[in-house]
Amino acid sequence: MKTRLFSCVAILGLFFAWLPEVFSADDAATVNRLVIHADRGKDTISRFIYGHFSEHLGRCVYEGYWVGEDSPIPNTRGIRNDVVAALKRVKVPVLRWPGGCFADEYHWRDGIGPRTQRPTMINTHWGGVTENNHFGTHEFLDLCDQIGCEPYICGNVGSGTVREMQEWVEYITFDGKSPMADLRRQNGRDQPWHLKYFGVGNENWGCGGNMTPEFYADQFRRYATYVRNFGGNRIFKIACGPNGGDYRWTEVLMKNVGRQMAGLALHYYCGSGRTSRSATQFEEVDWFHLLRNALRMDELITKHVEIMDKYDERRRVALIVDEWGAWHQVEPGTNPGFLYQQNTLRDALVAAVTLNIFNQHCDRVHMANIAQTVNVLQALVLTDKEKMIVTPTYHVFELYTPHHDATLLPTELACADYKFGDERIPAVSVSASRDKSGTMHVSFCNLNPNDAMPIAAEVRGAKLRSATGRVLTAPDMRAHNTFDQPDRVRPERFDNVRVTDAGFEVTLPPKSVTVISLE
Ligand code: AHR
């Protein structure tokens, strides 16, 4: 396991035993210390770690993306232009669809052909509303083309047939003459699409069929057999993985079908606060507990990877965290089945520490998909009919774009703890990378909402000429953007950083996400 985030006080002794020439323990009592090994990077932070998830749920697909060709909202072939433009700005690399729980009730053939003739269905999981199937396979793949991202389609194991899954892949990817390729052509698409990522079911331990891991492993083997590679298209088959800390699920899947899968999907939502589940009305106790829960992602990945390593020493199978984020109460007055929640600076910190954790584990974590891009759960984009705003979480994704496909630089961090009552968590989270042009980027989170964190950083193996930064923070931990005040939380230039002989010094404001660029 390479360098990871440290629980600071607990490891200080160990840390200084490792690096006696760098710091003394007395130094650490007053200043937080970071070492960046600029000369030791070997793993690439896949840009797919910055992926997204969008389900037929509430106003994510309908209104969030799809408004229809006749809408007064500016659109391209029915897909709203403002949302596509916003997602292009954060370089969305991959989009997972159509669910979620919806995926295991979705029958793809209902979503092709002339829209007015498509059958309807009930979206039983999400509000019991009628789904008119106007947004289907062609529309989704068009959306991915417009954003410029890879599609990731999740197939139906819970209530669909093997044949249905086989034919969906044939419909999308087969370029010769076949019943499904001909049907695709009838529906206006001559050339096959490129499709790499395919999920064989979703949450099959729960809404996807309530299966045991043994039963699902057999189902995976059977369904995955018929998910074919046609022509030059190569499918990366992703198995349903564990729910949070269900290590037995990972054990059984890796043991029984580890060789048949390319990826195993972990789901983890860090929940809400302790005393309040409201997205915007909360106290410091809730801030602390949500961030503590978000940090648990590190332990989950570490432990699942330990199990994966037992069966896959060469680390061929990727861990795919294809649903993650904060899950609060819905906004007052909205449909509880639509999962529409606001998004504050606290959620930005959740996103930033989680992305730092994924970066640090990039040797196994190949992809992650925040739930869910627009209008649902920890969204990047919120819409109200023709209006659109971006959230603090969106700004974190934008600030972190330099990490896409950059080389992870190992870091050693010794920092103060953020204490609340009898509990404590590390006050600082960090990850560092070097991009293809040689520029290094260090993303810091200060989880402490009250105190600034001075950091002395040593950069080994590189001589710095300049350090510049951008920061996301606000005076109030509950700060969020609204349709009336869309820019209350947005990144600003950050000047509290200076180059030193050894590296740089920086003072992180309380409750902030800061990205430093080093030349
Ligand atoms: O993202 C909302 C739901 O959370 C998804 O449909 C399901 O997979 C998970 O339980």
Q: What is the pLDDT of residues 386-429, one digit of tens each?
A: 999 999 999 999 999 999 999 999 999 999 999 999 999 999 99
Q: What is the mean pLDDT of the chain?
A: 94
Q: Is the pLDDT of residue 9 over 70?
A: no
Averaged pLDDT, 112-131: 97
140 CA distance to ligand 1 centroid (A)? 19
Q: Is the pLDDT of residue 8 over 90?
A: no
283 CA distance to ligand 1 centroid (A)? 27
At residue 6 the predicted structure's pLDDT band, cuts being 50, 70 and 90, is very low
Closest residue CA from atom 6 of ligand 1: 100
CA distance 287 to 292: 9
At 19 the pLDDT is 41
At residue 4 the predicted structure's pLDDT band, cuts being 50, 70 and 90, is very low
At 273 the pLDDT is 87
Distances (CA, A) of 314 to 197, 260, 309, 366: 21, 15, 8, 15
For the CA of 125, the nearest atom of ligand 1: 6
This prediction has a pTM of 0.94
Strand pairing partners for 384? 387
H or E element, residue 42: none
Specify the pairing of strand 318-326 against strand 365-371: parallel
Query: Does the Cβ of 273 fall within 6 Å of ligand 1?
Result: no
Averaged pLDDT, 136-158: 98
CA distance 28 to 35: 13
Q: Is the pLDDT of residue 29 over 70?
A: no
428 CA distance to ligand 1 centroid (A)? 30
Q: Hey, what amino acid is at 412?
A: E
In this structure, what are the phi and psi dihedrals at residue 490, rounded to the nearest 5 degrees? -155, 155
Which of 59, 154, 267, 270 best tests ligand 1's pocket when mutated (most atoms within 8 Å of CB)? 267
At 454 the pLDDT is 96
CB 388 within 8 A of CB 382: yes
By CB atoms closer than 10 A (0-12, 13-18, 19+), residue 392 is buried
Q: Hey, what amino acid is at 13?
A: G
Specify the pairing of strand 453-460 against strand 503-508: antiparallel
Alpha helices in 7-117 (DSSP H): 8-18, 25-30, 81-89
Strand pairing partners for 324? 268, 370
User: Quick count: other Cβ atoms within 10 Å of Cβ 517?
Assistant: 16
Residue 68 DSSP SS3 = coil
For the CA of 99, the nearest atom of ligand 1: 6
What residues have CB less than 8 Å from 230, skipping those under 6 apart? 169, 170, 173, 174, 175, 176, 192
CA distance 183 to 352: 44
- Percentage of the chain surpassing pLDDT 70? 94
At 31 the pLDDT is 76
Annotation says 203 is catalytic: yes
Residue from 131, 150, 203, 458 carrying the catalytic annotation: 203
What residues have CB less than 8 Å from 333, skipping those under 6 apart? none
| 120 HSE (CA, 13 A, CB side) | 8
Q: Is the dihedral of CA 372, 378, 379, 382 positive or negative?
A: positive
Low-confidence winner among 28-32, 43-47, 113-117, 181-185 (lowest mean pLDDT): 28-32
Averaged pLDDT, 26-55: 87
- Percentage of the chain surpassing pLDDT 90? 94
CA distance 161 to 146: 31
H or E element, residue 375: none
CA distance 445 to 511: 7
87 CA distance to ligand 1 centroid (A)? 21
At 485 the pLDDT is 98
CB 17 within 8 A of CB 337: no
Q: Is the pLDDT of residue 15 over 70?
A: no
Q: Is the pLDDT of residue 252 over 60?
A: yes
Strand pairing partners for 484? none
Q: Is the pLDDT of residue 265 over 70?
A: yes
CA distance 40 to 408: 9
Annotation says 323 is catalytic: yes
At 382 the pLDDT is 98
At 30 the pLDDT is 54
Averaged pLDDT, 45-69: 98
